[in-house]
Amino acid sequence: MTDTKAVRATRRFTLNALRSQEGVLLGLLVLIVVVLSLFSERFLTVNNLLNQTRLFTETALLALPMTLIIISGGIDLSVGSMLAWSAVMLGFSWQLLGLPLPLAVLICLLTGLIGGLVNGVLIAYVRVPALIATLATLAIYRGLSFGISQARSVRGFPEEFTFWGQGQIGPFPTQFLILVTLIIAVHILLSQTGFGRWVYAIGNNEVAARFSGIPVERVKLALYGFSGLMAGLAAFIFTSRVTTTRADAATGLELDVIAAVVLGGASIFGGSGSVIGTVLGLLIITLLRNGLLLAGVKGDATFMTIGLVLIVAVLINNVLRKK
Amino acid sequence: MIASKRLLSSLSLFVATVIALSACAAPPPAAPPPAPAESKPAEGTAAEIPPNWKAGIPKNPPDRKGKKLVIRDVPKLIGIGYFAATTKGMEEAAKELGNIDFKTDAPTEAKIEKQIEFLDNFITQGVDVLLFAANDPVAIAPVLKKALDQGIIVVGYDADAQEDARQFFVNQATFEAIGQALIEDMVAQVGPEADVAIVTSSLTAPNQNRWIEEMKKYSAAKYPKLNFVTTLPSEEDQQLAFKATQDILKTYPNVKGVFGLSSVAFPGAADAVKQAGKCGEIAVVGLSTPNQMRPFVKEGCVKSVVLWNPVDLGYAAIYAARAIADGELKPGATELKAGRLGTLKINGSEILLGPPFIYTKENIDNFDF
C-alpha cells in the first residue's frame, strides 16, 4: 500500500519535473543530440563537444548576467558593444600605451565594468527604460571602439597570452573551466541567496519590491555592472582566442545572448527564469548549429532551424504551463 | 507581448545593421600585400622543402593522389556578388576535374569570429581541403594552423592569412600587374604622349601608393612622354573625388586622361568628366567593381575597368588544391597548370593569377559584384 503511494508520488514528481521549463529543454536537447548524431558520426565525440565550449564561452559569459537582468524585468542590449570596447582598450593600452599585458587586461575588465555601471546609473537612477538606455549605449560603446582604435586592429600578442583562449588545463579548454565556475557561482547566487530573491521580486513587481524594503536601485546598478564586468572578461578571453582586437568584434552578439536566455525560459517581462534554463538554452543553440553544420546543412538553413526551435520551445512551454 | 519582443529584436537588429554597414562600407576586393621579393626557390625534389619556405605544411597528410577530395570554401561572407563569383569559378573547376565534393559555406556577415566557427566545424567534419578568404589575417591563423596540424590542405585566395598558417595563396593581382594594366589602358586611349592626372584615395593609402609607384615606374620605362601633372586625394569620398576631378579639369586644361584609383575615386572622376560634357574627350581609367562602373561603361564615358576576375580566382584555387593533393604542387614549385587559365606563375608560396581582367561594354554584364 505505502509502496504504491511512494511510486505514485515519484511519478508525479517526475511528471512535474518533465513539465517544467528545464524538463522540456532537457528533452529537446536530448532529442537534438540523438537526431544529429545519426547524421554525423563526428558530432557526438568528446573532441568536438569540448571544442564547441571554446566557441560559446563568450556568449555564455554574457548570458549569465543577462539572465539576472531579464529576470529583474530589464534588458542589456549593449553587451556586444561593451565587449568590443573592452577588447579595443586591451589592445590600445598594451600596444599604444605600452603597458604590461596584465595591466592591460585589468583595464579591459575595468572598461567593461565602467560601461556596465553607466548603464546601471542611467537605468536605476536617471530612470531611462533599460531598452532605450542600452540601445543608446550599444551605439555609443561601438562608436568609442571605432574612435579609439581608429578602425585598426591590434595584433601580435605573445604566445603565453593565448593560454586563456586557446590553451587547456588537462583535457578541458581553459575558458570552459572559468565558465563552469561562474555558472555554479551565479546559479547559487540566484537560487540560494537573498540577493537572488530580490532579483525575482523586482521582476515580479518593482513597486511592491520597493515597499518591502528591497534596495531596487542598488540591485539594478549591481546587475548592469556585473553585465559589464562579464563583457570585459569575455573580451579578454575573446582577444586571447582570436589574438587580435577589432572594433567590429561581437557585433550582434547581444541577439545570440538574449535568444539563449529567452529559450532558457526566462520571461522577457521579468520574474521568472533560471541559470540552468539559460545553460540548456545555450547548449541547444550551440549544438544545433554545430550538429547541423557537421551534418552538411548550409549556414542559412541552420539559422532558420534555430529560429524555429525557439518558437516551438516557447509554444510547448506555454501549453504545458496552462495545464 | 510578441509585439514588444519583435520591436526589441528589430530595433537592435536595425542598430546592429547600421553599425555593421558603416563598419564595412568599403567594397571587398582590396589588393593583397605584395609578394615578398625573395630569391626564387629552386625546384624542389620529392618531399624536400626549400630552406626559405615560410608557408605552412600539413602534418602527415594521407595519400590523396587521384582520390576523391572533400573541399570546403569559407570566404569572408556569402550573399554578395563578389564571392558568388569566386564560388562559381570553384564549381566550374570542381566539375571539370571531377571526383571533388565541393561546397561553399560562410557567415552572412564579414565577421572573423563567425568565420572561425565555420572553419572549425569543417575541421571536425574531416575535410581534405579548406579554402579561405580571410576576414583578418592574424585572427584566422590559429584555426588554419589547427587544420594543417590535422593534415588538411589549406589554400587562401583574395585575402591572405599569416604566411605560416596556409600552404599557398592565390594572389589575384600584384601591384606591378595592376600598375602596368592601368598604364596600357590609358595609353590605348590617349596615346603615349599626353598629360594625365591621378585621383587616389588618401595620400597615405598603402595600396594606392604602391600602384602609383608601379604605374610611374612602368610608364617612365616604356612611355617617357606620359606626363603626370598631379595626384589629388579623395579620402574614400565620391563627392571629393568628383570635386578633385573638376579641379584637375580647370587647372590643367591639357589633361587628356584621369586615373581613378579606388572604387569611389573612379566613379567620382567619371561623373565629373561626364558632367563637364567631356566624355570621349578625356579618358577615365581606373580600378573599381563592375557594378559601380556599369552605368559609365554603358554610356561610353568609361571604356574599360581594370580589376581581376573573381571567377578565375576561384577556379585557380580549386586547381591549386587538386595539384597539392596529387603531389604536383609542392613547396618550391614555380608553376601551376590551371585548366583554361593555362600555366600560372608561382612566387614563393603565392600563385599569381596573372594580368588583371579588363571589363568592357561587351563583357561587363556577365558579372554582378
Instruction: Tell me the domain boundaries of chain B.
Output: 69-172+309-354, 175-307
- Per-residue model confidence (pLDDT) at position B8: 47
- Asked if the domains B69-172+309-354 and B175-307 are classified in one and the same CATH topology, the answer is yes
The pLDDT, as a whole number, for residue B110 is 82
The DSSP-derived string for B270-337 is HHHHHHTT-BTTBEEEEB--HHHHHHHHHHTS--EEEE--HHHHHHHHHHHHHHHHTT-S-TT--EEE
| Residue of B21, B70, B136 to mutate for A, most A C-beta atoms under 10 A | B136
Task: Check residues A159 and A201 and name the one with the higher pLDDT.
Answer: A201
- Best mutation target among B4, B12, B78, B120 (most A Cβ atoms within 10 Å) is B12
| Helix pair A253-263, A275-294: axis angle to 10 deg | 120
pLDDT tens digits along A289-317: 888 888 888 777 888 888 888 888 778 77
Give B285: exposed, middle or buried? Use CB within 10 Å, 0-12, 13-18, 19+.
buried
> In the predicted model, what is the mean pLDDT of residues B204-219?
89
- Report d(CA B338, CA B157) in Å as an integer: 15
CATH number of B175-307: 3.40.50.2300
Q: What's the pLDDT at A77?
A: 97
Cβ pair B126:A248 closer than 8 A? no
Rounded percentage of chain B residues whose pLDDT exceeds 90: 62
Instruction: Give the one of A139, A246, A293 whose C-beta lies nearest to B15's C-beta.
Output: A139
ipTM of this predicted structure: 0.73
- 3-state SS class at A65: helix
Domain annotation for chain A: domains and CATH numbers: 21-322 (1.10.3470)
Contact A299 B125 (CB under 8 A): no
**pLDDT at residue A236, as a whole number:** 96
Residue-wise over B133-147: b if at least 16 C-beta within 10 A, else e? bbbbbbbbbbbbbbb
| pLDDT tens column, A123-139 | 999 999 999 999 999 99
From the list A60, A61, A62, A69, the residue with the least C-alpha distance to A219 is A69
The answer to whether B41 and B332 have CB atoms below 8 angstroms apart is yes
Distance CA B137, CA B143 (A): 11
Q: How far apart are CA A121 and CA A126, in angstroms?
A: 6
Do B320 and B338 contact (CB within 8 A), yes or no? Answer: yes
CA-CA distance, A209 to A124, in Å (whole number)?
14
Asked whether B168 and B183 are in contact (CB, 8 A), the reply is no
Average pLDDT over residues B329-357: 91
Cα(B246)–Cα(B142) distance, rounded to whole angstroms? 48
- Among A217, A213, A222, CA closest to A186: A222
The answer to whether residues B337 and B157 touch, using CB atoms and an 8 Å cutoff, is: no
Q: Do B8 and A238 touch (CB under 8 A)?
A: no
Q: Which residues contact B338 (CB under 8 A, 6 or more apart)?
A: B315, B316, B319, B320, B344
Pick the CATH number of B69-172+309-354 from 1.10.3720.10, 3.40.50.2300, 1.20.1290.10, 3.30.70.120: 3.40.50.2300
A255 has a chain B CB within 8 A of its CB: yes
Lowest mean pLDDT among A205-209, B55-59, B223-227: B55-59
Show residues of chain B in contact with A157, CB under 8 Å.
none
Hey, are the CB atoms on B136 and A244 less than 8 Å from each other? yes
Rounded to a whole number of angstroms, the distance from the CA of A48 to the nearest CA of chain B is 7
Q: State the pTM of this model.
A: 0.76
How far CA B320 is from CA of B102, B156, B298, B323, in Å, comes to 14, 10, 36, 5
To the nearest whole Å, the CA of B319 is away from the closest chain A CA by 23
Chain B residues within 8 A (CB-CB) of chain A?
1, 4-5, 8-9, 11-13, 15-16, 19-20, 23-24, 78, 103, 105-109, 111-113, 116-118, 120-122, 124-126, 136, 138-139, 141-142
Q: What are the beta bridge partners of residue B155?
A: B131, B168
The whole-number average pLDDT for the span A156-185 is 91
A42 at interface of B, judged by CB pairs closer than 8 A: yes
How does the average pLDDT of chain B come out, rounded?
85
